[in-house]
């Protein structure tokens, strides 16, 4: 999966012959799973039509501060456009547009949006050889880099003038590759390996029946997906669940029982930097598993249970430098029980759930958690979607490594 998947990208197109390449560029962004809005300078419409880019991007194309053909004169809000984007790319960036960006000469919607943008800005220059090397252009490059913008270098080849040399806008495929590489290099969990457990475990009574719980696995899968987006390599040990992951950075190990989950976690624990135990592991299992289906006969039936191995505690015992996070689902004395679990299992952080909180618990789209760290600092959170809770958990991981 591309790091561009799900990203909101604002593409600024200025008036150079290379503007014709933006049709291919937009298609590649869409193929990567990005959401695109396009802003064109008036001059760029001489090289590629707004209809083409609107059709490919599946969004209206913006060019002026208001639509002159619209009787209501609806304003194209450059501030909203700038705030919407996760990143802005100006391609092609002509000498004229680069100069305006560098000096703040705000005479069109593209420059106004650029000046309002809070997101990272990339620019792909496109111009003739001598223009590319002119001192004024070099000065624009230097100023924009100093502002924190990222330049996608022009390529060498045949130019529109008939000359051959540096100045061609990078090919769309190369722009995509540049953006992916640059974004990946800046991901906060790049180079980290994370073990995550998710879902329930099923403990067999006979070939048909089992002891289990109501965990859906959503919380663990949301953490895994978010960790992969942040650049981590993820090992997801999942009990029986219908959830799937599509990110190539997530390796799923499917298990059924607590013993299988224990074995899978221990097989990779010494390789990981972080372990997040979000699974709802059965505390007990039948001491004897019937080899055949148990027939309904007696009015009463007794199953003798034995404890399963405590996966989280066992990881705490052998912990070296790993950042170990556990979950606690409590119904009473929540804070006290969670603190005891931190001590008994050698945890760095615990994510406390209470079934007393409406909207929290199993088979819910939301969760309400309280973070408690090993120093017993307590941080209650608001009710949020499980995706947002996953972000909060991984922000704790990022904060931990930023202090090392």
Do residues 261 and 197 touch, judged by C-beta distance below 8 A? Answer: yes
Do residues 274 and 231 touch, judged by C-beta distance below 8 A? Answer: no
Do residues 27 and 4 touch, judged by C-beta distance below 8 A? Answer: no
Q: What angle do CA 249, 255, 260 make, to 5 degrees?
A: 115
Catalytic residue, chosen from 76, 77, 174, 213, is 213
CA distances to 85, 276, 278, 363 from 339, rounded to whole Å, are 41, 17, 17, 26
Which residues are bridge partners to 200 per DSSP? 280
- Give me the sign of the Cα torsion angle 48, 53, 54, 56: positive
What are phi and psi for residue 126, nearest 5 degrees? -150, 115
What are phi and psi for residue 232, nearest 5 degrees? -75, 150
| Residue 213 a catalytic site member | yes
Do residues 371 and 349 touch, judged by C-beta distance below 8 A? Answer: yes
Alpha helical stretches, state H, 20-125? 22-31, 50-57, 78-84, 95-103, 109-116
Measure the CA–CA gap between 399 and 11, rounded to whole angstroms: 32
Active-site residue numbers? 213
């Amino acid at each position: 999966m591309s790091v561009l998947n799900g990203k909101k990208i604002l593409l600024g197109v200025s008036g150079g012959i290379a503007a014709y390449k933006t049709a291919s560029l937009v298609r590649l962004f869409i193929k990567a799973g990005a959401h695109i809005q396009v802003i064109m300078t008036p001059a760029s419409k001489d090289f590629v039509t707004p209809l083409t880019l609107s059709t490919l991007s599946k969004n209206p194309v913006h060019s002026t501060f208001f639509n002159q053909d619209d009787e209501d004169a609806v304003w194209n809000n450059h501030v909203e456009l700038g705030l919407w984007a996760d990143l802005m790319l100006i391609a092609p960036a002509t000498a004229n547009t680069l100069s305006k960006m560098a000096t703040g000469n705000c005479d069109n919607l593209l420059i106004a949006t650029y000046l309002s943008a809070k997101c990272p800005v990339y620019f792909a220059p496109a111009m003739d050889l001598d223009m590319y090397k002119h001192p004024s252009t070099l000065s624009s490059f230097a100023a924009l880099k100093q502002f924190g913008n990222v330049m996608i270098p022009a390529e060498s080849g045949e130019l529109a003038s008939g000359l051959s040399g540096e100045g061609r806008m990078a090919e769309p495929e190369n722009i995509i590759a540049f953006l992916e590489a640059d974004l990946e290099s800046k991901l906060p969990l790049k180079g980290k390996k994370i073990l995550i457990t998710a879902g329930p475990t099923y403990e067999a009574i006979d070939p048909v029946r089992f002891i289990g719980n109501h965990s859906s696995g959503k919380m663990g899968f949301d953490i895994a997906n978010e960790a992969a987006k942040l650049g981590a390599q993820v090992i997801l040990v999942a009990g029986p669940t219908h959830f799937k992951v599509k990110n190539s950075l997530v390796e799923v190990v499917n298990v059924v029982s607590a013993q299988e989950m224990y074995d899978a976690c221990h097989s990779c624990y010494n390789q990981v930097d972080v372990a997040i135990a979000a699974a709802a592991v059965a505390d007990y299992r039948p001491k004897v598993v019937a080899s055949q289906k148990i027939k309904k006969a007696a009015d009463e039936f007794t199953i003798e249970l034995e404890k399963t191995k405590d996966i989280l505690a066992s990881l705490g015992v052998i912990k070296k430098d790993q950042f170990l996070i556990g979950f606690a689902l409590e119904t009473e004395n929540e804070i006290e029980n969670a603190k005891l679990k931190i001590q008994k299992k050698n945890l760095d952080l615990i994510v406390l759930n209470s079934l007393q909180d409406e909207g929290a618990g199993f088979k819910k789209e939301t969760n309400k958690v309280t973070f408690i760290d090993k120093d017993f600092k307590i941080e209650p959170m608001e009710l949020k979607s499980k995706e947002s809770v996953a972000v909060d958990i991984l922000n704790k991981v990022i904060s931990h490594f930023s202090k090392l």
